[in-house]
Amino acid sequence: MAIIDVAKIATDESTKAPKGSIRSPQFRRMVSYVWPHRKYLAVGIAAAFVAAVLSAVSITAIVPVLNILLYERGLHGWLDVTIAEARTDTRNLELVLVLDEESASAAEWFQKVAEAPAGSIMPFRTRSGTADGDTAELHEEPLADPPWWWSVVRPLVVLVPRDISRFTAMVYMMAFVTVVVLLGNIARFFAEYFVCIGVFRGLMDLRRHLYAKVLMLPMSFFTQNTADIVSRFVQDAQEIQRGLLVLFGKFVREPLRALAILGVAFMFDWRITLTVLIVGPWAVLIFIRVGHSIRKANRKLLQVYGLMIDALTTTLQAIRVVKAYTTEKTERIRLWRIDEQGFRQQLRIAMLRACLRPMLEVLAVMAASVAIVWLGKQMIEGEIDPARFGGLVFALAASFDPLRRLADVYTRISRAAAGADRIFAVMDLASEAQLFEGVTRLPELAEKIEFRDVSFTYPGAAQPALAQINLTVCKGEAVAVVGPNGSGKTTLVNMLPRFFDPDEGVVCFDGVDIRTGSLKSLRRQISLVTQDTVIFESTLADNIAYGTGSATREQVIAAARQAYADEFICAKEQGYDTMVGERGSTLSGGQKQRLTIARAVLRNAPIFIFDEATSQIDADSEHKIQETLKEFSKGRTTFIVAHRLSTIRFANRIVVMDRGRIIDSGTHEELLGRCELYSTLCKTQLLQ
Beta pairing class for 478-482 and 637-641 = parallel
DSSP-assigned letter for residue 121: B
- Give the pLDDT score at 452: 93
Domain range for 587:
476-487+523-686
**Is residue 508 very low, low, confident or very high in pLDDT (cuts 50, 70, 90)?**
very high
Between 137 and 34, residue with greater pLDDT: 34
Query: Is the backbone of residue 194 left (phi > 0), alpha (psi -120 to 50) or beta?
Result: alpha
Q: For residue 668, which of 684, 639, 645 has the smallest C-alpha distance?
A: 645
User: Quick one: 285 and 422 in the same domain?
Assistant: yes
pLDDT in tens, 86-101: 888 877 777 777 776 5
Q: Residue 501: pLDDT above 80?
A: yes
- Give the pLDDT score at 39: 93
- Give the pLDDT score at 17: 36
- Give the pLDDT score at 547: 76
The CATH number of whichever domain residue 619 belongs to comes to 3.40.50.300
On whether residue 184 sits in a domain, the answer given is yes
pLDDT in tens, 583-611: 677 787 778 888 888 888 888 889 998 88
Percent of the chain with pLDDT over 90: 10
Q: Residue 210 in contact with residue 236, Cβ under 8 Å?
A: no
User: Quick one: 535 and 675 in the same domain?
Assistant: yes
User: Quick one: 591 and 656 in the same domain?
Assistant: yes
On whether residue 169 sits in a domain, the answer given is no
Looking at residues 570-590, what average pLDDT do you find? 79
Query: At 379, is the secondary structure helix, strand, or coil?
Result: helix
Cα 606 from Cα 638, distance rounded (Å):
9
- Give the pLDDT score at 18: 37
Q: How many domains does the chain have?
A: 2
On whether residue 591 sits in a domain, the answer given is yes
- Give the pLDDT score at 492: 93
User: Quick one: 385 and 480 in the same domain?
Assistant: no
pLDDT in tens, 281-296: 666 666 666 666 766 6
Judged by average pLDDT, the poorest of 275-284, 410-419, 537-546 is: 275-284
Q: For residue 54, which of 191, 147, 179, 192 has the smallest C-alpha distance?
A: 179
Between 18 and 314, residue with greater pLDDT: 314
On whether residue 160 sits in a domain, the answer given is no
Between 224 and 235, residue with greater pLDDT: 235
Q: Residue 15: pLDDT above 60?
A: no
**Is residue 361 very low, low, confident or very high in pLDDT (cuts 50, 70, 90)?**
low
On whether residue 599 sits in a domain, the answer given is yes
User: Quick one: 678 and 597 in the same domain?
Assistant: yes
The CATH number of whichever domain residue 269 belongs to comes to 1.20.1560.10
Between 395 and 54, residue with greater pLDDT: 54
Domain termination residue (choose one: 407, 427, 447): 427
Q: Residue 460: pLDDT above 90?
A: no
- Give the pLDDT score at 177: 83
On whether residue 81 sits in a domain, the answer given is no
User: Quick one: 418 and 480 in the same domain?
Assistant: no
State the average pLDDT for the chain. Answer: 77
- Give the pLDDT score at 484: 86
Task: Read off the pTM.
Answer: 0.64
Looking at residues 244-248, what average pLDDT do you find? 85
Residue 40 CB neighbours (<10 A): 20
- Give the pLDDT score at 81: 82
pLDDT in tens, 610-635: 887 554 566 666 777 777 777 777 88
- Give the pLDDT score at 194: 92
User: Quick one: 294 and 414 in the same domain?
Assistant: yes
Looking at residues 146-156, what average pLDDT do you find? 77
- DSSP string across 570-625: HTSTTGGGPBP-GGGTTS-HHHHHHHHHHHHHHHT-SEEEEE---TT--HHHHHHH
- Give the pLDDT score at 8: 33
On whether residue 515 sits in a domain, the answer given is no
Q: Residue 309: pLDDT above 80?
A: no
Distance of CA 48 to the CA centre of its chain: 23
